[in-house]
Chains A and B, each alone.
Chain A
Amino acid sequence: MTTAEDAARLGLHKVGGRPPLRDYVADVWRRRTFIYSMARFKIESENQQNSLGMLWVILKPLLNALVYGLIFGLLLPSNTRPPHFVEFLLIGVFVFEFFAQSWTAGGKSITNNASLVQSLAFPRMVLPLAAVTQRFLQFLPTVGIMLVFLLASGNRPQLHWLLIIPIFALYFVFSCGLALVTARLAAHWRDLNNFLPFLTRFFFYTTGIFFSVEERFGARDGHKGHPTIIKISDFQPIHEFLSLARSALLAGDSYTIDERYWLFAGTWSIGLFVFGVWFFWRAEERYGRVD
């Protein structure tokens, strides 16, 4: 009898192997309290060192909006602006900020927690999920600010504002999937974390945060526009989430959207999440390795 057969008979597993996907996912699910607690504790500790403390949860997005409002609202006028531009910009900046933050944090989640990974045995998938959960918890107060601002600027609360709940839920699932894929890639190839700021900036300027893709590239005044760019935007997930959020919160013709966006965004979210779980699990034994 070989050692391998011996070991199997005794119920020993080969070190460096990974559990079957189903067991693994169940293991991660059992640690959901860890994911949530880690997210919460990290937020607290990040703010503890500042004298303004938890106030930063609200201050940061407000300052962000102020800066972007100043730059794109006053300094760089343009003719590709939809009505309610300030609300349009605010939603864009806030919603994009969560995506950018959770992408960066997810990518670093394994490499930044090397000491934890190398000491304790646990399914590593909880780390990128905790990183995204942390950003999501920080995103929720900004949603509150967004709604307060909408009310303050004279928008009446509508029943369809509630649509942001499923939209942001899908958005969270999408970001988890992206973080899982990125965390694995960054564990193999650490340089990726240096590229992420450029990638997020690229998406920031191309996605239509401070201009309307439809007005800039759509057909108007007899000019046929750039149908390819519109087409690409239709399938670009961040653009879909932004458009969905804006259509849920803002009134007016420029904010009615193609109902298929729900389908596209849903497919992106579920698809990327399922792929991310599988992709991350495939390299479970590699995380924290020193070779």
Chain B
Amino acid sequence: MSTDQTPVQAPQPPKDRKPVVIVDDVHVEYKVFATGKRPTAADRRSKVLRGRGKQMRTVHALKGVSFTAYEQDSIGVIGTNGSGKSTLMRAIVGLTPASRGAIYASSRPSLLGVGAALMKDLSGERNIILGGLAMGFSMDEIEASFDDIVAFSGLEKFIDLPMRAYSSGMTARLKFALASVQTHDILIVDEALAVGDRKFRARSEARIREIRDNAGTVFLVSHSMQSILDTCSRVIWLDQGTLVMDGDPEEVIDAYNEAQDK
């Protein structure tokens, strides 16, 4: 893989658009307890390594990533499993601290990942209300956009069921519908569309383009190159924690596919 090549120069900064996220030489190191690798025959022979149980291991997940995102950008983030995509997204939201470098953002973004419902004991309806209130909307504003959110999620029949009864696709739909109401902000979608069906994917891609047109900024982490080509104006390719390429979607995806096929 071409990690050793010098990072491709970022595209010329657009003059008329405001930067909303600046990622400045960010390193992320995790300290994790490792259970210890299964000892090899050689390890078993040497007494030194015998009986090691837990030990601290440092995982260098991001190694000096820099780029600037502008308003109306929709940035696709690609890379193999474990390349640091999700770590980068969590760092932008502030859920993973940068061990070196810094990230600046115009607002605290929402992060949509696959996984748990917001409040699994509460119905979809209650989740929309509480989620909206948490994001700072007033009750009136939520009531005004409630029907839109439900219609967008396509969950009219299930909206009064507790979210623990939802499938992962339904959970992702509701969360996406809720988080994408704020159109003037930063939205990070980390693989959350992958669990949706085709109809929902098409709808959410249209919504991402809409957010972009409304001066919002979207990050889309995906393994579906088609999704990224359809929605993104720019693509970032990460490999083993370094930024390999940053630029026009088609160019970057071509280079990425080429490296994968090698």
Contact = CB atoms under 8 A, between A and B. Distances in A.
Contact of B108 (A45, A116, A121): A121
B105 A12 contact: yes
A12 B179 contact: no
Interface stretch (A30-38, A75-83, A159-167, A258-266): A30-38
Q: Which of A3, A10, A15 has the most CB of B within 10 A?
A: A15
Contact of A115 (B18, B108, B118): B118
Interface string A89-120: 00000000000000000000000011110111
Given A115-B118, A121-B109, A290-B90, A41 B104 contact: no
A218 interface: no
B113 A119 contact: yes
Contact of A116 (B22, B105, B119, B136): B119
A14 B21 CA distance: 10
The B interface is mostly helix, strand or loop, or mixed, namely mixed
B60 to A, nearest CB: 14
B162 A7 contact: no
A288 B117 contact: no
Given A45-B122, A116-B118, A120-B179, A14 B110 contact: no
A129 to B, nearest CB: 12
A118 B113 contact: yes
A22 interface: no
B102 A41 contact: no
A285 B94 contact: yes
B169 interface: no
A15 B111 contact: no
Contact of B96 (A41, A46, A291): A291
A226 interface: no
A201 interface: no
Contacts of B115: 115
Given A120-B110, A289-B96, A290-B96, A37 B119 contact: no
B22 A6 contact: yes
Contacts of B106: 10-13
A283 B130 CA distance: 23
Contacts of A86: none
A7 B96 contact: no
A86 to B, nearest CB: 36
B116 to A, nearest CB: 4
Interface SS of chain A: helix
B245 interface: no
A60 interface: no
A41 B193 CA distance: 28
Contact of A119 (B18, B21, B118): B118
Contacts of B156: none
Interface string B1-28: 0000000000000000011111010000
A284 to B, nearest CB: 10
Interface in B93-129: 93-98, 102-113, 115-123, 126, 129
Contacts of A14: 102-104
Most buried by B among A4, A27, A113, A119: A119
Interface string A30-60: 1101100110011001101000000000000
B166 interface: no
Contacts of A37: 129-130, 133
Contacts of B97: 16, 285, 289, 291
A120 B135 contact: yes
Contacts of B117: 115
A113 B129 CA distance: 16
17 contacts: A3-B24, A10-B18, A10-B22, A10-B106, A12-B21, A14-B104, A15-B103, A15-B105, A31-B133, A33-B133, A119-B111, A119-B112, A120-B110, A120-B134, A120-B179, A122-B134, A288-B95
Interface of B: 18-22, 24, 30-31, 90-98, 102-113, 115-123, 126, 129-131, 133-136, 138-139, 162, 175, 179
